[in-house]
Amino acid sequence: MDQSPPPAGPGFLRQAPSAPPLETYQTSFWAYDGEASGVTVNYQPAAGQLVGQPFLRFDIPKNGLAAGADGVRTKRGDSVLVTVTIDSVTFTVDFQPSGVWFSNGNPARLTIWYENAAPDLNGDGVVDSVDQVLQQQIALWYHDGATHWVPLSSVNDPTLPSVSTVLYHFSEYAVSY
């Protein structure tokens, strides 16, 4: 039986069928120029737990916000309503509004935990050493245009398991190898 080659580009992680639902799939918060802000999204807690496993943490440090919607430079006290939309099935996260930029000296930080990803990373039906190698290559990628995805310099910690990177602008981001 012929097997078609995998699609070109990143290998997006997929959620395991046993993964719990998230507490929310979309959330918003206010980011203010000159103040630290951020958001955490967890999975729904299991029976007997008060807090579910983490899925996402996004932090904007004090003085990290450089430009608001459409790239307009912010001044102290300016605010931007940030909306985060999550697709936990494909481990993708979309940040809006477009045009938001962060300081080169104080970039934002995104961490996504992938403990609830399907362990068969390459989708060949077998969890094996190939998947272990791919797990070591996991990084965050951003969507640059209609179809192009770009890998970001990321810190992958398979022991947590989580992947983190600094962000300089809003886009759609994905956990991939």
Residue-wise pLDDT for 104-160, tens only, equals 999 999 999 999 999 999 999 999 999 999 999 999 999 987 778 999 999 999 999
Strand (E) or helix (H) holding 86: strand 79-87
From the list 72, 74, 78, the residue with the least C-alpha distance to 30 is 78
Structure tokens at 76: 């102290």
The domain segmentation of the chain, as residue ranges, is 26-176
pLDDT digit string (tens) for 64-80?
999 999 899 999 989 99
CATH of domain 26-176: 2.60.220
* 61 and 70 Cβ atoms separated by less than 8 Å: no
Residues 6+ apart with CB under 8 A from 144: 150, 171
The pTM for the full model equals 0.92
Q: What is the pLDDT of residues 8-55, one digit of tens each?
A: 458 999 999 999 999 999 999 999 999 999 999 999 999 999 999 999
